[in-house]
Amino acid sequence: MNNLILDIQNLTYSINNIKYIDDITFSLKEGEHLVIFGPESSGVTKLFDLIIQADPKYDGDIFYKGKSTKTLDYFGQLMHKRDIGYVHGDYGLLSNMTVEQNISLPLEYHSILPTAKIKEHVEAIIYELNLGHCKKLRPIDLTGSEILKTAFARAIVMDPDLLYIDHAFKSQCPLNIKHVTDFLFKRFERHDKALILITYFPQDFIDISDSFIMFFNGKIVFSGGREDFLNSDNPYLLQYKNNSIKGPMVIL
């Protein structure tokens, strides 16, 4: 049986008495792929600060590999962030570094590999993602797909146990998305790895996701597997899938 890699219990997060996340509970096992979605301002974007950044200012608890992130000291938080790969919607590449340097950076900071081994490992990922032609270019000189692939390469170069993808496919060509997802899910089909994908378009990932969670107003309003997502009569899910203004969600 696969172990839990992430276990969120009764998580609530407020700023100035406004609840952005309201008493949510869910878990993720090793080997699972989870898609989280919801309309804008549903609360999903706050998960990054809590799960990845280990921001302790919340009620409830977050357990990563069985350990509460609330108990992490400064060094523990650094190790926690190193253990998780993540890609933002803005990609966050360093503008003064080349593709090759951006991908190498996590290894140079967080590994004990010699320079020659780092270069060999990075070259292999660059080859797999067809980035060889632009590896000496900086982000300003890259196309959208090259930026996307560079960000993903950097996220997986440390072989993280959890990969967190946050709205990274916005404004991308479907063929670019297909190339990257095929590459990623081949690498993350290992039973000791897990994936969280945040998106506005959950239907695009129906073939590669094990489970789906929908947020609205900081709460989980739908949770289920692939068949549940396809066939459920949950009114929140139906309104979202039908792109309708009629339903329980009032969009301001």
Give residue 183's pLDDT band: very low, low, confident or very high (50, 70, 90): confident
Distance CA 220, CA 103 (A): 35
Taking CA 202 as the corner, what is the angle to CA 213 and CA 50, rounded to the nearest 5 degrees? 45
**3-class secondary structure for 25-41?**
EEEEECCCEEEEECCCC
Mean pLDDT of 220-237: 97
The more confidently predicted of residues 89 and 22 is: 22
Task: Identify which of 119, 82, 114 has the alpha carbon closest to the alpha carbon of residue 103.
Answer: 119
Torsion, CA 136, CA 141, CA 144, CA 149, rounded to 10: 10
- Is pLDDT of 156 > 80? yes
Q: pLDDT (tens digit, 9 = 90+) per residue, 3-54?
A: 899 999 999 999 888 899 999 999 999 989 999 999 998 989 888 888 887 7
Q: pLDDT (tens digit, 9 = 90+) per residue, 49-64?
A: 888 877 778 899 999 9
What's the confidence (pLDDT) of residue 74? 85
What's the confidence (pLDDT) of residue 188? 63
Give residue 190's pLDDT band: very low, low, confident or very high (50, 70, 90): low
In angstroms, the Cα distances linking 173 to 144, 218, 224, 232 are: 9, 30, 28, 30
The more confidently predicted of residues 119 and 186 is: 119
Distance CA 177, CA 183 (A): 10
Share of the chain above pLDDT 90, in %: 61
Is the separation of the CB atoms in 51 and 164 below 8 Å?
yes
Strands (E), 47-181: 59-64, 67-68, 84-87, 162-166
Pick the CATH number of 4-241 from 3.40.50.2300, 3.30.420.40, 3.40.50.620, 3.40.50.300: 3.40.50.300
Average pLDDT taken over every residue of the chain: 90
Q: Where are the domains of the chain?
A: 4-241
Distance CA 17, CA 100 (A): 44
Max intra-chain CA distance, the chain: 59
Strand partners, 36: 198, 213
Mean pLDDT of 108-135: 93
In this prediction the pTM is 0.92
CB atoms inside a 10 Å sphere around CB 201: 12
